[in-house]
Chains A and B, each alone.
Chain A
Amino acid sequence: MQWSRVIALLALACASCTAPAPMEGHAPGPRTFPASDIAKGANLAALGNCVTCHTAPGGKPFAGGYALKTPFGTVHGTNITPDEATGIGRWSEEDFRRALREGLNPAGHHYYPAFPYAYFTHLTDEDIHALYAFVMTREAVHAETPANTVVVPRFAVAIWNARYLHPGPARSDPARDASWNRGAYLADSLAHCSDCHTPRDKLGGEKSAEYLSGGDVDGWHAPALNEHSPSPVPWNVEALETYLATGLADHHAISAGPMRGVVDNLGRASHGDVHALAVYIAGMERSSPHRARGSEAADSSAQRGKQVYAGACADCHTRGRSADGGALPLEEAIALAIPTPSNLIHIVRDGIVPREDRAQPWMPAFRGALTDEQLVDLLAYLRTIDGVEWNDLNEQVRKADKEPG
């Protein structure tokens, strides 16, 4: 795991590595809000994918406990239900605003920047109010966030903030239409797309010059969304909107990995906002078709991999999605076009398996069916389809085993 990523992840530890916040001066917020505010907040929370990092697997929504493993220990997403003892039940709206805009808890301690306040800082007052109305009307869950096992130098955050926190409104462009501007606002604030899709520097800050050029998260690669998009089939607004709302668009792979949770949430967000996100992002994408640089499957590993492919993959992936049992032709699969095989390794091993209560397409898991050597061979063959330069396949496969899938 990259150092930059570690810094970012450590941020979640903050609230519990500082002393409990003194509450004097902060009145508990109101518990009743107009239904329209709550509904607006629900939409925004879906766009922000908040529930993902604030919910433990199998746990109560927003009650925290989501564990992130780092080389420095485990940190947990916090309880943001209105429980007074363990959640944010005693926060005023001002406390809430400060947390989102400045990354400070009510006691004035810093959060670490994996809590994406560097994006939320651009949120409007009205949107913060709606989000507040939403979270404060959730079911209060008494759930202690598990103790983190991390010691972090807090001064680093102040320095970090000076460099990377740019409060103020989001970008806007009067020359563009309302959809684009709405999309830009959402993408850069609440949806925090670039949190994953932009590479980070040593301090865990975004490399702003490489905005949306692709990043890494939890052992997965988040592909470039800008003109460097490796997508074999260029995205257009319609396809991207469908993908964001359902996780599935024609000629594109099904959503997987960390993006799964994002699209699950976006599926519940307003169509207009999802459309706006699609307008903004697709507007950045290149429009010419990607040229596959297929090369010959020369080495013996790739030759063996071709056999594996013929048996394990070809029956589905050569037939296209409209056929029974058919799946996306791999020439169209983005996992074969990104700079690392990490996504492909996860997908082959664990499949893309729907939750039991969701109706979704299904790629089966090959864990145990293929040995690590066979997986390396398969990758050696598959990298020839798009001509990507994946190196150290053995090392990549070994490493991916350790990382969460």
Chain B
Amino acid sequence: MITLEVNGHRHDVDVDPSTPLLYVLRGELALNAAKFGCGLGQCGSCTVMVDGEAIYSCITPVSTLAGRRITTVEGLGTVDKPGPVQRAFIEEQAAQCGYCIPGMMMRAQALLEKNPGASEDEIRKALEPNLCRCGTHMRILRAVARAGKLMGAK
């Protein structure tokens, strides 16, 4: 039994400790946002935050996560009360299929928590690990910049 703290809630999960976090989020905890894209740490669709850092949940075993703070897109807000990053992605209509977007949002959140005024070059650099196949990049860049403004304004 491992206790995970996800979006401020504690969950006791009974899985093999080597199970990657992604499968626990999607399976045991029924959270949809983090996505399976490659399982290889190459695409970023599974990105979540652990202790404020963006990580690949598909290669991070839950055994290493006891006592650490895990944040997923579900922790950023809801449809009715979207957080700044979510709001910005909606306002910029920054999605085509949207499959990559939760990972993008988490990487953006990790960046903006440290640096809400990130420049476009800094945003490009920070998002470099995350792939989007639909070619939504330009909108994602705008959304992250907008989210930075929303966060900075808070």
Q: Do A and B make up one complex?
A: yes
Binding site for B on A (CB under 8 A): 307-308, 310-312, 314-315, 325, 351, 356, 362, 364-371, 374
Q: Give chain B residues whose Cβ lies under 8 Å from the Cβ of A369.
A: 50, 55-56, 59-60, 64
Say how far B144's CB is from chain A's closest CB, in angstroms: 19
Say how far A24's CB is from chain B's closest CB, in angstroms: 43
Which chain B residue has the least Cβ–Cβ distance from A307?
B63
Q: Which of B4-30 contact A (CB under 8 A)?
A: 17-20
Whether B105 sits at the interface, judged by CB under 8 Å, is no
Contact A364 B42 (CB under 8 A): yes
The 3 A-B residue pairs with the shortest CB-CB distance in the complex, in nearest-first order: A311-B61, A364-B41, A368-B53
A367 to B49, CA, bound (A): 12
Contact B64 A312 (CB under 8 A): yes
Contact A325 B63 (CB under 8 A): no
Contact B53 A364 (CB under 8 A): no
A59 to B64, CA, bound (A): 39
Q: Give chain B residues whose Cβ lies under 8 Å from the Cβ of A370.
A: 64
Say how far A300's CB is from chain B's closest CB, in angstroms: 15
Say how far A379's CB is from chain B's closest CB, in angstroms: 14
Say how far A176's CB is from chain B's closest CB, in angstroms: 44
Contact B53 A367 (CB under 8 A): yes
Q: Give chain A residues whose Cβ lies under 8 Å from the Cβ of B17.
A: 307, 310-311
A356 to B137, CA, bound (A): 15
Say how far B11's CB is from chain A's closest CB, in angstroms: 18
Contact B40 A325 (CB under 8 A): yes
Which chain A residue has the least Cβ–Cβ distance from B128?
A356
Whether B39 sits at the interface, judged by CB under 8 Å, is yes
Contact A368 B50 (CB under 8 A): yes
Q: Give chain A residues whose Cβ lies under 8 Å from the Cβ of B104.
A: none
Which chain A residue has the least Cβ–Cβ distance from B65?
A369
A315 to B64, CA, bound (A): 15
A150 to B18, CA, bound (A): 49
B39-52: CB near A (< 8 Å → 1, else 0) gives 11110000000110
Q: Give chain B residues whose Cβ lies under 8 Å from the Cβ of A364.
A: 40-42, 56, 59
A310 to B40, CA, bound (A): 16
Which chain A residue has the least Cβ–Cβ distance from B60?
A369
4 further contact pairs, Cβ within 8 A, besides A315-B18, A325-B39: A311-B61, A362-B40, A362-B41, A371-B64
Q: Give chain B residues whose Cβ lies under 8 Å from the Cβ of A315.
A: 18
A395 to B50, CA, bound (A): 24
Which chain B residue has the least Cβ–Cβ distance from A310?
B18
Whether B62 sits at the interface, judged by CB under 8 Å, is yes
A175 to B93, CA, bound (A): 72
Whether B54 sits at the interface, judged by CB under 8 Å, is yes
Contact B54 A312 (CB under 8 A): no
Contact of A368 with B40 at beta-carbon distance under 8 Å, contacts A311-B62, A311-B64 already known: no
Q: Give chain B residues whose Cβ lies under 8 Å from the Cβ of A374.
A: 64
Q: Give chain A residues whose Cβ lies under 8 Å from the Cβ of B61.
A: 308, 310-312
Contact A312 B42 (CB under 8 A): no
Say how far B55's CB is from chain A's closest CB, in angstroms: 4
A374 to B61, CA, bound (A): 12
A277 to B102, CA, bound (A): 48
Q: Give chain B residues whose Cβ lies under 8 Å from the Cβ of A368.
A: 50-51, 53-55
Which chain B residue has the least Cβ–Cβ distance from A364?
B41
Say how far A2's CB is from chain B's closest CB, in angstroms: 31
Q: Which of B46-90 contact A (CB under 8 A)?
A: 50-51, 53-56, 59-64, 68
